[in-house]
A and B are shown apart, each in its own frame.
Chain A
């Protein structure tokens, strides 16, 4: 399949994220989001009134309140009226919408942000409400249970074993020691089974957090950032709805999205994978054909901080930030949503060669 080649160059020019914490009772959603918004504006020197399009991602079910995103909008300076949109899912999909908006030429800059406060509720129970309401939701299978079914399928297939999963957990949290925003930096015990075969260490922390990026097109991007992270391609795909129809050891939707995003045209040096569970990294590495030469989740990934609805956008942001810093020349970023890697988004980011 031929990758789609965008006509207009669009780049991520700034990225910021909050310090991810188990609870943020002292902050409302807008109070949590605002510092992150101000940080990306500061990085670019833009004012809120300079932004051409704003798009956010979040979920009312986390806060237990309808239209909760409208409150967070106060933080972007939404009056006088702005061009704005919202996705009820991870902010990576908000970034996709903003990217399309810039590709059409309707805007030259976009602010994308997302946030999740999982602390008010029980996120394992809350996430059951996104499942098929006829066949699954009445059984309340929680997010860890569904991931554990996938992990067992991988073990049965011989695709991994428990020591290998533990090594993924250890590597991720070790890498997170260099990430000042991470919730679980440094070594952790692998712990007891939460839902066998997944141990506590195989599962992401539950926490609150927010992230924001600024996108810009063409020369505007070059003005705002010394080394923009150009989005060479981006695509998102979904698996069949029913879990029992799928081969849980594979992620054909990730592979297809990567193909359409042009990920296989040249090697990548970095991959930020949204794999909240260790076993999901195994699935994604296989689907994306990543070998040991690729630096996977140098940020620590979702195993070190997984603010639901922001963790996918953070993967795109972390990959872009590595390009901004000159640590990467061609990076793959992946975001997921739904049980067992139901939906997958892949972006390919590149930095232009430059003298450091």
Chain B
């Protein structure tokens, strides 16, 4: 019998995902976004004469290709709205504002944007608004800084527009950042906590007895939880390897170096690790290795030869 120990508190760490998507624009979106840069709002006319703003390349009803650009007004009417008490990062205004769908004069559909207004009492469906242009415009939806209340009579007719501008915008870069707090769950927490004590802990499948290291919590063969913890290593055998000749960005390891699969003694599968302490061209299958811990002692920085004779192929052939 083993004593029941409380599960260790789960590890947590910040995780930031940032991506600048570079997107190309078709003829219609290019004209629309270039137009915004030039303080001109373009729509596109469908086969039935409807004017879609913002414009799209294909009719949402018939899928027919749309290329007939028209210019609409920079004034319009709110078709629905929602008061945003607490603006979130990235939204058009940092002060409380209304989200609005605005049907611009001459358009038959509505554009989503923000409306700068003193409070929800100052906003209603049907109210008249106009575009407030951003001071610096680059050919993006954010060239409209927001809408603002504006009393004016609707202008009825859209005007034909060839969609041609000098120096058209052909693409956008859409940056995004999402912040997460990552927690690795039970099995990986147990693994990482043991590493901090310079121990490598795998987990055994109760059904097939295979020992997974690092453990992920489940046996992919049996589809059951691996809960039975087993200390493996510290020594192991190189089952296969490759020689890395190209330096990765932000990595201060001299090339060439060897990256290997290492079957720790007692483990049911090999894990990944770098081999050091031996010239790269002398690393071989069957080489016996042991971990060299990082300076802060929280994980094996690399593995080095133990000096033992090489392992016999039959002892690790199932782990390749």
Hey, which bits of chain A sit against chain B, CB under 8 A?
25-32, 34, 37-38, 48, 61, 63-64, 71, 73-80, 120-122, 124-126, 128-129, 133-142, 145-146, 148-153, 156, 193-198, 240-245, 248
Q: Which of B73-131 contact A (CB under 8 A)?
A: 79-85, 88-92, 99, 101, 103, 109-114, 120, 125
Interface of A, secondary structure class, is: helix
Q: Determine if A133 and B82 form an interchain contact, defined as CB atoms under 8 angstroms apart.
A: no
Cα separation A76 to B224 with both chains bound (whole Å) = 8
Q: Which residue of B85, B113, B174, B188 is within 8 Å of A196 (Cβ)? A: B85
Q: Determine if A120 and B15 form an interchain contact, defined as CB atoms under 8 angstroms apart.
A: yes
- The contact sample of 29 A-B pairs, CB cut-off 8 A, is A26-B183, A27-B185, A30-B185, A48-B222, A74-B217, A76-B223, A77-B220, A77-B221, A77-B222, A120-B15, A120-B180, A120-B183, A134-B23, A138-B142, A138-B172, A139-B141, A142-B88, A145-B99, A148-B82, A148-B99, A149-B82, A149-B101, A149-B112, A194-B85, A195-B99, A244-B54, A244-B79, A244-B110, A245-B110
CB distance from B115 to the nearest CB of A (A): 12
Task: Give chain A residues whose Cβ lies under 8 Å from the Cβ of B54.
Answer: 135, 242, 244
Task: Give chain A residues whose Cβ lies under 8 Å from the Cβ of B53.
Answer: 244
Q: Determine if B60 and A48 form an interchain contact, defined as CB atoms under 8 angstroms apart.
A: no
B219 at the interface (CB under 8 A from A): yes
Task: Give chain B residues whose Cβ lies under 8 Å from the Cβ of A148.
Answer: 82-83, 99
Q: Determine if B101 and A244 form an interchain contact, defined as CB atoms under 8 angstroms apart.
A: yes
Task: Give chain A residues whose Cβ lies under 8 Å from the Cβ of B223.
Answer: 34, 37, 48, 74-78
Q: Which residue of B12, B88, B219, B220 is within 8 Å of A125 (Cβ)? A: B88
Task: Give chain A residues whose Cβ lies under 8 Å from the Cβ of B196.
Answer: none
Task: Give chain B residues whose Cβ lies under 8 Å from the Cβ of A198.
Answer: 82
Q: Determine if A31 and B186 form an interchain contact, defined as CB atoms under 8 angstroms apart.
A: yes
Cα separation A138 to B36 with both chains bound (whole Å) = 15
Q: Determine if B179 and A245 form an interchain contact, defined as CB atoms under 8 angstroms apart.
A: no
CB distance from B98 to the nearest CB of A (A): 9
CB distance from B82 to the nearest CB of A (A): 3
Task: Give chain B residues whose Cβ lies under 8 Å from the Cβ of A146.
Answer: 99
Q: Determine if B10 and A195 form an interchain contact, defined as CB atoms under 8 angstroms apart.
A: no
Q: Determine if B109 and A25 form an interchain contact, defined as CB atoms under 8 angstroms apart.
A: no
Q: Determine if B186 and A28 form an interchain contact, defined as CB atoms under 8 angstroms apart.
A: yes
CB distance from A134 to the nearest CB of B (A): 6
Q: Determine if A197 and B216 form an interchain contact, defined as CB atoms under 8 angstroms apart.
A: no
Cα separation A58 to B217 with both chains bound (whole Å) = 19
Given A120-B180, A125-B88, A240-B60, 16 extra CB contacts under 8 A: A26-B10, A31-B186, A31-B187, A34-B217, A64-B15, A73-B220, A75-B223, A120-B183, A129-B176, A136-B112, A138-B174, A145-B84, A145-B99, A194-B85, A244-B109, A245-B52
Q: Which residue of A63, A120, A152 is within 8 Å of B80 (Cβ)? A: A152
Cα separation A150 to B91 with both chains bound (whole Å) = 19
CB distance from B27 to the nearest CB of A (A): 13
CB distance from A162 to the nearest CB of B (A): 13
Q: Determine if A244 and B111 form an interchain contact, defined as CB atoms under 8 angstroms apart.
A: yes
Hey, which bits of chain B sit against chain A, CB under 8 A?
7, 10, 12, 15, 17, 21, 23, 25, 29, 33, 52-54, 56, 60-61, 79-85, 88-92, 99, 101, 103, 109-114, 120, 125, 140-142, 172, 174, 176, 178-188, 216-225
Task: Give chain A residues whose Cβ lies under 8 Å from the Cβ of B179.
Answer: 121-122
Q: Determine if A151 and B178 form an interchain contact, defined as CB atoms under 8 angstroms apart.
A: no
CB distance from A147 to the nearest CB of B (A): 8
> Given contacts A34-B225, A64-B15, A145-B99, are A74 and B220 in contact (CB under 8 A)?
yes
Q: Determine if B52 and A28 form an interchain contact, defined as CB atoms under 8 angstroms apart.
A: no
> Given contacts A134-B23, A195-B99, are A28 and B112 in contact (CB under 8 A)?
no
Cα separation A136 to B92 with both chains bound (whole Å) = 11
- Residue in chain B with minimal CB distance to A23: B183
Q: Determine if A242 and B109 form an interchain contact, defined as CB atoms under 8 angstroms apart.
A: yes
Task: Give chain A residues whose Cβ lies under 8 Å from the Cβ of B182.
Answer: 64, 120
Task: Give chain A residues whose Cβ lies under 8 Å from the Cβ of B33.
Answer: 134
Q: Which residue of B12, B114, B221, B225 is within 8 Å of A139 (Cβ)? A: B114
Q: Determine if B186 and A27 form an interchain contact, defined as CB atoms under 8 angstroms apart.
A: yes
Q: Determine if A133 and B110 form an interchain contact, defined as CB atoms under 8 angstroms apart.
A: no
Q: Which residue of A79, A193, A244 is within 8 Å of B220 (Cβ)? A: A79
Q: Determine if A74 and B219 form an interchain contact, defined as CB atoms under 8 angstroms apart.
A: yes
Cα separation A34 to B185 with both chains bound (whole Å) = 13
- Residue in chain B with minimal CB distance to A140: B90
Q: Determine if A243 and B220 form an interchain contact, defined as CB atoms under 8 angstroms apart.
A: no
Q: Determine if B7 and A26 form an interchain contact, defined as CB atoms under 8 angstroms apart.
A: yes
Cα separation A87 to B174 with both chains bound (whole Å) = 25
Cα separation A124 to B88 with both chains bound (whole Å) = 9
Q: Determine if A74 and B125 form an interchain contact, defined as CB atoms under 8 angstroms apart.
A: no
Q: Determine if A133 and B181 form an interchain contact, defined as CB atoms under 8 angstroms apart.
A: no
CB distance from A338 to the nearest CB of B (A): 14
CB distance from A331 to the nearest CB of B (A): 30
> Given contacts A74-B223, A140-B91, are A193 and B99 in contact (CB under 8 A)?
no
Task: Give chain A residues whose Cβ lies under 8 Å from the Cβ of B83.
Answer: 148, 193, 195-196
Task: Give chain A residues whose Cβ lies under 8 Å from the Cβ of B56.
Answer: 241-242
Cα separation A30 to B218 with both chains bound (whole Å) = 7
CB distance from A74 to the nearest CB of B (A): 4
Cα separation A242 to B46 with both chains bound (whole Å) = 15
Q: Which residue of A74, A141, A194 is within 8 Å of B99 (Cβ)? A: A141
Cα separation A125 to B180 with both chains bound (whole Å) = 11
Cα separation A285 to B79 with both chains bound (whole Å) = 23
Cα separation A149 to B115 with both chains bound (whole Å) = 13
Task: Give chain B residues whose Cβ lies under 8 Å from the Cβ of A80.
Answer: 221
Task: Give chain A residues whose Cβ lies under 8 Å from the Cβ of B140.
Answer: 138
Q: Determine if A133 and B52 form an interchain contact, defined as CB atoms under 8 angstroms apart.
A: no
Q: Determine if B112 and A139 form an interchain contact, defined as CB atoms under 8 angstroms apart.
A: yes
Task: Give chain A residues whose Cβ lies under 8 Å from the Cβ of B84.
Answer: 145, 195
CB distance from B149 to the nearest CB of A (A): 17
Cα separation A248 to B81 with both chains bound (whole Å) = 12
Cα separation A142 to B92 with both chains bound (whole Å) = 12
> Given contacts A25-B12, A139-B112, A193-B85, are A61 and B225 in contact (CB under 8 A)?
no
